[in-house]
Structure 1
Amino acid sequence: MGKLDDPILQVLSDYKAAVFAKDVDRYVDLYDEDVLIFDMWGVWSYDGVASWREMVTSWFGSLCTERVIVDFVDTQTIVAQNLAVVHAFVTFKAVTADGTELRSLDNRLTVTLRQKGDGWKIAHQHTSSPIDLDTAKVIFKR
């Protein structure tokens, strides 16, 4: 696929491709060295790209032969000089080698990007899902 016209949306396209390929280096290269990440899973936050790399390495390694298809919908961008904010709904769909869907979940995603000499880098990422008020369980389907 060629580069998209919008360099901010290109970061999301590169994100999708890196996750599907389970390419740790390509994925982590999307992030600023000083990134701060508020992830949904198990850890309150990741401070810096080195701690994020550890999580990504573990995540991709846990997939074995599975792949993950990432899909962003209702993507909105706000760009001002060297900063951009993107928010979207994102679906992570685990599939077998032949493409059979195994499971999926939806999240809300907000990223702040900073333009650097080598392009746009994610400086902050926040993922979340709502919690059902009656059961206190996370709602994974939009």
Structure 2
Amino acid sequence: MVSAEVQVETLLDSRSEAMRAKDIERLMSVYSPDVVYFDVVPPLQYIGSAQLRDRFLHWFGGWQGAIRQEIHDLRISASGDIAATSMLIRAGGTLKSGLEVDRWLRTTSCCQRSDRGWQIAHEHVSLPVDMANGRAVMDLIP
């Protein structure tokens, strides 16, 4: 039997692969229909798969090609049908403007197992903030 931790890691790998390929159907399949998602861009939250789908489609449209998604420092804690994860994600690629992007993001995902298997029920993506000037710090490297 495959452990919950391995199943959740597989779920997160699938999410990253779907983001790289801009495969919206595969990407949305890893999220719960009632997902709550906190992103680095406004608004404060996206609630439900319809809002999140729109957010991802808008985000996909800003890139020329594939979007790099590399998971690092993954930690998974699972008990029963609930799992909490934390990770650093190196994301990047070329924006339609021609700008090359290479950023490290902090991500926490809360996953829940149901009859549909493991899905992400809550996700929080963030950048550190320089409290002296109130701006995101986007050049940190682990």
Q: What TM-score comes out, normalization by structure 1 length?
A: 0.87
- Partners of 1:47 and 1:88 in 2: CA distance: 22
Unmatched runs of 5 consecutive residues or more in structure 1: none
Matches within 5 A, 1:1-142: 6-63=6-63, 65-95=64-94, 102-142=100-140
- Partners of 1:133 and 1:58 in 2: CA distance: 29
Give every structure 1 segment of 4 or more consecutive aligned residues whose post-TM-superposition deviation is greater than 3 Å. none
Deviation of 1:125 (Å):
0.4
- What letter corresponds to residue 33 of structure 2 in structure 1? E
- Partners of 1:16 and 1:38 in 2: CA distance: 17
- What letter corresponds to residue 122 of structure 1 in structure 2? I
User: Share of identical aligned residues, percent?
Assistant: 23
- Partners of 2:120 and 2:114 in 1: CA distance: 10
- What letter corresponds to residue 116 of structure 2 in structure 1? D
Unmatched runs of 5 consecutive residues or more in structure 2: none
Deviations 1:68-115 (A, max 9, x none): 11111111000000000000111111149xxxx921111110000000
- Partners of 1:136 and 1:62 in 2: CA distance: 25
Q: What TM-score comes out, normalization by structure 2 length?
A: 0.87
Deviation of 1:135 (Å):
2.4
Deviation of 1:33 (Å):
0.5
